[in-house]
A and B are shown apart, each in its own frame.
Chain A
């Protein structure tokens, strides 16, 4: 038969298990939508990394090449603001705000990506 002390140990261990589950899930989700890092890539080279949550004043980044792009960064978001390429796909993509968001200017071989995984889909087919 279990004594009172046994029950105590038993309960303690169950709490321990619960806490470890909780702790692990907390740890895993800790990076979910904080510390968003936007990476700008031009011609397969990373040219800039910006912690967009830490941006207080809006700023513009000029990208020159075959075409010219203007990237706009505000607190927590980033986008292609202007581009003189013919299709303007990059500008039409609009603001990037979540991890995994991406905008690409193919003619100018430039892309912006917020590092990390989107929580809904792993990738989009187009």
Chain B
């Protein structure tokens, strides 16, 4: 009799287990916010009981980073740095100094393919304005003389920095969002969040996996499809996934398509046969800088650079609609192209 009872109780316990385990998943519900900041949309998906408070703190932090580092609004530290170019050292906050130094490092790593002193050319092209234009060849050649990451002088002892030449402009547009993403993850960790995701205008950061323990599925935008369409998926936990592409901002003039990623060597939009690049790494500041870098470098050189860096993986999409991924990403990348226009090249 006792045996029978124990079997029944065991079975009932199993039933309860099924019910309880399904409740546990709902115990801390998904909290999702959208906020317009840094010239884009910030989406946060957080599983935590204090998610609303945490999301607000993250948005405030991002707004602070934006006002320190933007050159699209007045005020802020980078504007001070640019205004004092060729004249004097200016005092900068810890965040700005860190990002500026990282930007300079990526200038070195990429041998100038990534260069935040591209500012004068960005301004001249007006890619981020309502009225973009193609500057004259002579204007571009003149402005190229101002583009050189080596002219960023940083004095860590006094927390100051200076640009060597008058007229030089630092534009952190290719790296500041990456930094802001890492700052957001720090805040999540401070509150003990175990499962969260943030998108800063398509720069994705994941903390942990989903509440059920499975990885997050991050779609990789189809460069020729509509917003939200994708050509494949990477399954990740605790990773940053950042993309660059010629589809983000562009304009057409006399039948030619001009996009927003300028090659610091030529002063014209990078034209290396790529239409989209995606970097997967631990920190989004690296992923952000590198996605732009490899877009400018092209498939061969970009692949070489990524393979030389520890813990960094990449997806490359070429203009003839072929997709290449680094070896370390072959297991986490799933080719899924609803448009049926792309080809996944597994072996090069």
Instruction: List the interface of chain A (C-beta within 8 A of B).
Output: 6, 9-10, 13-14, 16-17, 20-21, 24, 27-28, 41, 43-44, 86-87, 89, 92-94, 101-104, 106-107, 109, 111, 113, 117, 120-126
Q: Does B130 contact A (CB under 8 A)?
A: yes
CB contact under 8 A between A124 and B18, given known A6-B4, A13-B11: no
The count of chain B contact residues (Cβ–Cβ below 8 Å) is 48
A16–B197 alpha-carbon span in the complex (Å): 37
A16 neighbours in B (Cβ, 8 Å): 11-12, 15
The interface-forming segment of B142-150, B226-234, B325-333 is: B226-234
Say whether B35 contacts A17, CB under 8 Å.
no
> A20-B15, A44-B35, A126-B245 known; A106 and B40 CB under 8 Å?
yes
A9-B4, A106-B40 known; A120+B217 contact, CB < 8 A: yes
- Whether the Cβ atoms of A17 and B43 lie closer than 8 Å is no
Q: Across the interface, do B39 and A125 meet the contact criterion of CB distance under 8 Å?
A: no
Question: Within 8 Å CB of B96, what residues of A?
Answer: none
Closest to B227 in A: A93
B292 to chain A, nearest CB (A): 14
Task: Give, as a whole number of angstroms, the nearest-CB distance from B310 to chain A.
Answer: 22
Of B73-81, B87-95, B167-175, B199-207, the one with at least 4 CB within 8 A of chain A:
B199-207
- The residues of B that contact A122 with a CB separation of less than 8 Å are 45, 197, 210, 216-218
Chain A residues, CB < 8 A from B262:
none
Contacts of A124 in B (CB 8 A): 202, 218-221, 228-230
Give the nearest-CB partner of B35 in chain A: A44
Inside 8 A of B216's CB, which chain A residues have their CB? 122-123
- Residues on A with C-beta less than 8 A from B130 are 86, 107
Q: Which 4 A-B pairs have the closest CB atoms?
A: A126-B202, A13-B11, A121-B219, A126-B221
Q: What's the Cα separation between A91 and B34 when bound, in Å?
A: 19
* Known contacts A44-B35, A87-B249; A121/B40 CB under 8 A: no
Residues from chain A with a CB closer than 8 A to the CB of B164 are none
Q: From known contacts A9-B8, A86-B130, A93-B228, infer whether A21 and B18 are also in contact, taking CB-CB under 8 Å.
A: yes
A20 touches B221 (CB 8 A): no
Contacts of B210 in A (CB 8 A): 122
A20 touching B18, Cβ below 8 Å: yes
Q: Which residues of A contact B247 (CB under 8 A)?
A: 126
**Complex interface: chain B residues within 8 A of A41 (CB):** 34
A-B contact pairs, 9 of them (CB 8 A): A13-B8, A17-B18, A24-B18, A102-B227, A106-B41, A111-B41, A123-B219, A124-B219, A125-B219
Asked whether, in the complex, the Cβ of B22 is within 8 Å of the Cβ of A28, the reply is: yes
Q: Which residue of A lies closest to B220 (CB)?
A: A125
| Pairwise interchain contact B203-A125, C-beta atoms closer than 8 A | yes
B19 within 8 A of A: yes
